[in-house]
Amino acid sequence: MKTAVTKLFKIQYPIILSGMTGVSTPELVAAVSNAGGLGILATGNLNIDQTRRAIRTIREITGQPFGANIPLMLPGAEKKADILIEEKVPIVNYSLGKGDRLSSAVHSYGGKVIATVVTHKHALAACRDGADALIVTGHEAAAHGGDVTSLVLVPSIVDAVDIPVIAAGGFADGRGLAAAISLGAGGIAMGTRFMNTVESPVHHNTKQASIEKNVHDTVYTHKIDGLPCRAMQSKGADRLIRDRIPMIRALFTSRDAANAFGFPWFKMLLGILVAGWAKSIQLARMANAYKPIQISLAEGDVQDGVLLLGQVTGILQDTPGVSELIERIIAEAAAAVNQTTRCMEQ
């Protein structure tokens, strides 16, 4: 299958692993890339040394193109971006920030840049800042999708930009891939679907929960981690949503987040306190969500933990290997296209 996305990144299939914090590890990244897709490493929960080691580990287990994601609003993001540049990561995916400096540096060694966006404003800004492609994330997505569903958001941004678009949010099978291409996208990015694969590091209980839940079993609110965010309904999620004084809890939880980011705890706590009221609340919620999210992924506690989960959870039925999944999706997409062609000819 050839699209603008496969040509740009020199990959076999237009299927991308989203850079999910705590999920998109070197092993999962390499599995997706080795299967013909594009694996994107999540660096959000890695410190500087861990980021460098993860990149080098990926290179040891795959010779295929891969990427690394960096959320620019997180503490220490600038230093972490320098690591990606020093290591000459082939494809850098950024989100939640301005990417002009990053794009320029990545292009200087021949790399490509993907910006993750949820609005037209940010899509156009990313184009001006030098992005080579966009991941356009709709409302259905796990974690930080936008207010508009993929069915509408994707074609509207395809019409507004002149670089390849990768559709994210609501994609888990070949029907979704065929639909995304029909909407003008050059490929799909999947998070929840790749989270539930054999190579995913996520706990078995959590994978099983994603099979058992239906399309109605998620919530979307800014009160989980400070940004509009989709997660599975649970006691842990409800606890964060009902918290009216997140600043107090953050005095204790920010230490866990700081340790994970490799950022001095005092500096993180000070940053939360002096950021202005609205920003402080956002950062406090982000700190409070860190440990519950890790509990759901690593320990399989999806009740007291918080599982970031897309609405496609309702169409997941198994835990396949990555290679099997990608081959299945390509076959399903071809079947969907053939069915559409037959219908049009009748």
Query: So what's the pLDDT on residue 249?
Result: 73
Q: Cα 276 to the chain's mean position, in Å?
A: 28
pLDDT of 267: 60
**Residue 254 — very low, low, confident or very high, per pLDDT cuts 50/70/90?**
low
**Same domain for 189 and 220:** no
* 177 burial level (CB within 10 Å; 0-12, 13-18, 19+): buried
Do 168 and 246 share a domain, yes or no? no
Q: How confident is the model at residue 271 (pLDDT cuts 50, 70, 90)?
A: low
Q: Mark whether 101 and 228 lie in a shared domain.
A: no
End-to-end C-alpha distance for the chain, whole angstroms: 26
Mean pLDDT of the chain: 92
Per-residue pLDDT at 252: 62
61 and 195 both lie in a single domain: yes
Phi, psi of 218 (to 5 degrees): -125, 160
Mean pLDDT of 255-277: 60
Which pLDDT value is given to residue 147?
95
Q: What is the pLDDT of residue 270?
A: 59
pLDDT in tens, 165-177: 999 999 999 999 9
Does 277 share its domain with 253? Answer: yes
Higher pLDDT, 254 or 70: 70
How sure is the predictor about 92, in pLDDT bands with cuts at 50, 70 and 90? very high
106 shares its domain with 158: yes
Two structure tokens written together for 131:
């992005």
Closest CA to 95 of 125, 73, 68, 66: 73
**Residue 295 within any structural domain of the chain:** yes
Please check whether residue 41 lies inside any domain of the structure: yes
Find the mean pLDDT for residues 142-165: 97
Tell me the one-letter amino acid at 191.
G
Q: Is the pLDDT of residue 62 over 70?
A: yes
Q: Is the pLDDT of residue 277 over 60?
A: no
Q: What is the pLDDT of residue 297?
A: 96
Tell me if 314 is assigned to some domain.
no
The letter for the amino acid at 198 is V
- pLDDT the model gives residue 244: 83
Instruction: Please check whether residues 253 and 273 belong to one and the same domain.
Output: yes
Position 321 in a domain: no
CATH number reported for the structural domain that contains residue 181 in this entry: 3.20.20.70
Residue 118 lies in a domain: yes
Whether residue 171 sits in one domain with residue 52: yes
CA distance 54 to 45: 12
Q: 134 — alpha (psi -120 to 50), left (phi > 0) or beta?
A: beta
Residue 273 confidence (pLDDT) above 60: no
Q: Are 49 and 164 in the same domain?
A: yes
Within a domain: 310: no
Q: Model confidence over 15-38: pLDDT tens digits?
A: 999 999 999 999 999 999 999 999
Do 268 and 134 fall within a single domain? no
Q: Is residue 318 part of a domain?
A: no
Give me the domain span that covers residue 289.
214-299
Q: 152 and 68 in one domain?
A: yes
Distance (Å, whole) CA 96 – CA 264: 21
Short-list 301, 288, 185, CA closest to 246: 288
Q: What is the pLDDT of residue 269?
A: 58
Give 191-233 pLDDT, tens digit per residue: 999 999 999 999 999 999 999 999 999 999 999 988 999 999 9
Domain count for the chain: 2
111-115, 183-187, 283-287, 307-311, range with the lowest pLDDT: 283-287
pLDDT at 272 > cutoff 60: no
CA distance 41 to 77: 15
Contact by Cβ (8 Å): 308, 231: yes
pLDDT attached to residue 218: 98
pLDDT tens by residue, 3-19: 999 999 999 999 999 99
189 and 225 share a domain? no
Phi-psi group of 276: left, alpha or beta (phi > 0 → left; psi -120 to 50 → alpha; rest → beta): left
Query: Helices 277-294 and 235-242, interaxial angle, to 10°?
Result: 170
Q: Please state, in angstroms and rounded to a whole number, the distance separating the CA atoms of residues 242 and 279.
A: 19
Q: CA 78 to CA 98: how far, in whole Å?
A: 11
Question: Per the domain annotation, does 138 fall within a domain?
Answer: yes
Residue 7, SS3 per DSSP: helix
